[in-house]
Amino acid sequence: MAKILMIYTGGTIGMVRNPETGVLEAFSAENLSANIPEMKYCGADVDMVSFDSPIDSSDMNPGHWSAIVRIICEHYEPYDGFVILHGTDTMAFTASALSFMLEGLGKPVILTGSQLPVEMIRSDAKENLLTAIEIAAAKDADGHPMVPEVCIYFHDELLRGNRSSKISAEYLAAFASNNYPVLAHTGTDITYHREFIRPYDPNVRLTPHYEMESGIVILSLFPGLQAEAVEEVLGQPSVKGVIFRTFGSGNAPRNERLLQALAKAVKAGKTIVNITQCATGSVQMKRYATGRQLLEAGVISGRDSTVEAALTKLMFLMGQGLSQAEIREKMNLSLAGEISLS
Ligand code: ASP
């Protein structure tokens, strides 16, 4: 029987309603197991560890990501796979971060949660959790893990973690992977789409990373954005990198002051990554003059990254203490399947 370690960080899945205020608050791992007794019969041997104080995922930060990496590393050998129970709000950020921090991962790390608490009659918790365990335990015909990568399982779909975004605050189908195919669909069976899943490589070894640079901001363009405001942000010594959410295929207004502010920041050693505000598609800075000018200012293409993947990749690379040139080079590589290179 496969051995699975479940890591409970908090989130709606295990929350209960405070009778005085009526708001949902993080609760214990015991509450969760009591509400899903089927875990005992799910065909895997499941152990559970929990954050000392489970959290709403709005409180998640890079320190928590390092704590998760540490738990996985300390339990890596005896377990066949890992399921992380996590709030949905920032699940795609954590999944993206872990995909970079767990370099050389050769076992499944499946994040899941729910839109409704486990205690509610229509809750999606049970299905999400039990299927996530089944996927984490799944092996191929050679006995290798079926999905040796960081994924999100939610509402019948297995998505690559660093390709996922939360797209709905209401529907049970809360996540999408707009620029990469779904890795598995579940219905009466689980259908794996092997051609899209990272292949198992017996020669790689897990190399954990714990440092993430926090001096990064996300700037989102809109018609009328004042260049002075951008100048102000870029001039802050605490700002070392920027994820720049631009229009369409990576375009920005032809505003001399804005361009000079960007070029000056790049010369000062800051890294600026261009990603599109569109839900699908890729940055192509050579397509329009309004994009090319950003290239000439030294802005790097984030290609078809999600905002979550671009941000955590930059945090990760800067956390390694790499030079600006090395960061530029690595932003153009797919480190964990987070960008399409063609
Ligand atoms: N606020 C909750 C969280 O992210 C939402 C959820 O879990 O669905 O922790």
> Separation of 95 CA from ligand 1 center, angstroms?
14
- What three-state secondary structure class fits 173? coil
User: Hey, which of 16, 32, 57 would you mutate to test ligand 1's pocket, going by the most ligand atoms within 8 Å of its Cβ?
Assistant: 57
Report the nearest atom of ligand 1 relative to the CA of 91: 4
Same fold, 2-208 and 216-331: yes
Domain covering 216-331 in this structure, CATH number = 3.40.50.40
Report the nearest atom of ligand 1 relative to the CA of 115: 8
Active-site pick, 9, 12, 94, 112: 12
> Separation of 11 CA from ligand 1 center, angstroms?
4
Q: Residues lining ligand 1, judged by CB closer than 6 Å?
A: 10-12, 56-58, 87-89, 113, 115
Domain edges within the chain: 2-208, 216-331
In terms of DSSP H, where are the helices of the chain? 29-35, 62-74, 91-101, 125-137, 227-234, 256-267, 289-296, 307-319, 324-331
pTM of the full predicted structure?
A: 0.97
pLDDT in tens, 242-295: 999 999 999 999 999 999 999 999 999 999 999 999 999 999 999 999 999 999
Question: Is 290 known to be catalytic?
Answer: no
φ, ψ (nearest 5 deg) of residue 257: -65, -40
Average pLDDT over residues 39-46: 89
Average pLDDT over residues 115-130: 94
Query: Which CATH fold would you assign to the domain 2-208?
Result: Rossmann fold (3.40.50)
